[in-house]
Chains A and B, each alone.
Chain A
Amino acid sequence: MNVITIERKILEKNDEVALQNRTFLEKLGVVAINLLSSPGSGKTSLLECVLERLQGRVAVAVIEGDVHTDLDSQRVARYGVPVVQIVTHGGCHLEAKLVQDALARLPLERTQALFIENVGNLVCPANYDLGEAMKVVVISTTEGEDKPLKYPAAFRNAHALIINKTDLLPYLSLRVEDLKRNARQVNPALVMFETSCVTGTGIAECCEWLLGRTSVTP
């Protein structure tokens, strides 16, 4: 019997490219935010609200990830920001190489904040480092308070949690405090926001926090 020892990380290639992306973005002073959520939690709507509010205050660029369409980049482009669409053709997550190719197509020397909207999925995207400065998880009030416990990897590695669609709370049995407790259990360091893209609640707080993470004075 012969054994050849290998001991290598399976995702080492992705990690290498992610490190290149991170070094490149840090050098340019671009703060990259990787947005994760399940499908339909309102990532794009939130992004639209944030873009509207940040207009004229900070130079933003966007990378949109989608399985089949460019519908999201069309929505985002209306705010006059540079946007690149990545269509994964069935792929359930973005990988560092896809982001690296997209970075080459953005005017990053004039960018302060880069939003990367991942494919709607709380499982696979959690495992792929893209080279972002931070991950932000979005969860909507209709998804239930148990999701942080069901998808711990996504919540454990995030800097912030945005609880979206709070305007629906009167019609739901969800208890926001239970959701927050579960999230804190998985990641005590999570910064949390409650937002509604319908009423605009919480968007300002979110934006101020984001501005605080960029080199821009809030």
Chain B
Amino acid sequence: MHELSVARNIVEIVEQHLPSATSRRFKTVRIRVGEIANVVPESLAFCFGALIEGTALQGSSLEIERIPLGCRCRGCHRAFQPSHFAFLCPECGNGDIEIVSGTELNVVEIELVNVEGGP
């Protein structure tokens, strides 16, 4: 259950990017989570919701893009998605495999909307 500390990191990073004074409302925080990043999206969204209460981010939602595990063989350069975490090249059987996606844990962007009656 490290989703709370992950959520805390997300809030900290986003707060560093917020405009100091704005009539806009923060609507969506978008993040990218890889298949083997060991994060449960539902728990993360719950923790995020709890943490932003009473902050500038209150009311915003967390949008999570899941990135599937992707690999590439360092021998024959074949790109593949391993099944059952078999890090073996389906083409040449090589075990020297590079993980090219699926470990992501990134804050991508925040989306703001104008508040009704604002400029």
Contact = CB atoms under 8 A, between A and B. Distances in A.
Interface string A174-197: 000000000011111100000000
Interface in B15-40: 17-19, 24, 31, 36-38
A5 interface: yes
B92 interface: no
A186 B85 contact: yes
B57 interface: no
A10 B31 contact: yes
**SS class of chain B's interface: helix, strand, loop or mixed?**
mixed
Nearest to B37: A127
Interface size on B, as a range, is 35 or more
Contact of B10 (A5, A10, A123, A126): A10
Contacts of B1: 92, 124
Contact of A127 (B24, B38, B86, B111): B38
A172 interface: no
B104 to A, nearest CB: 9
Interface in B100-119: 103, 105-113
A10 B87 contact: no
B90 interface: no
A6 B109 contact: yes
A149 B109 contact: no
Contacts of A3: 109-112
A43 to B, nearest CB: 19
Given A3-B109, A6-B14, A7-B108, A153 B87 contact: no
A123 B112 CA distance: 34
Given A7-B106, A124-B1, A187 B87 contact: yes
Nearest to A125: B2
Contacts of B36: 152-153, 156
A92 B18 CA distance: 31
19 contacts: A3-B109, A3-B112, A4-B111, A7-B107, A9-B106, A11-B6, A12-B9, A13-B12, A91-B2, A95-B5, A124-B38, A127-B37, A128-B2, A149-B84, A152-B36, A153-B36, A156-B87, A185-B86, A186-B85
Interface of A: 1-14, 91-93, 95, 123-124, 126-128, 148-149, 152-153, 156, 184-189
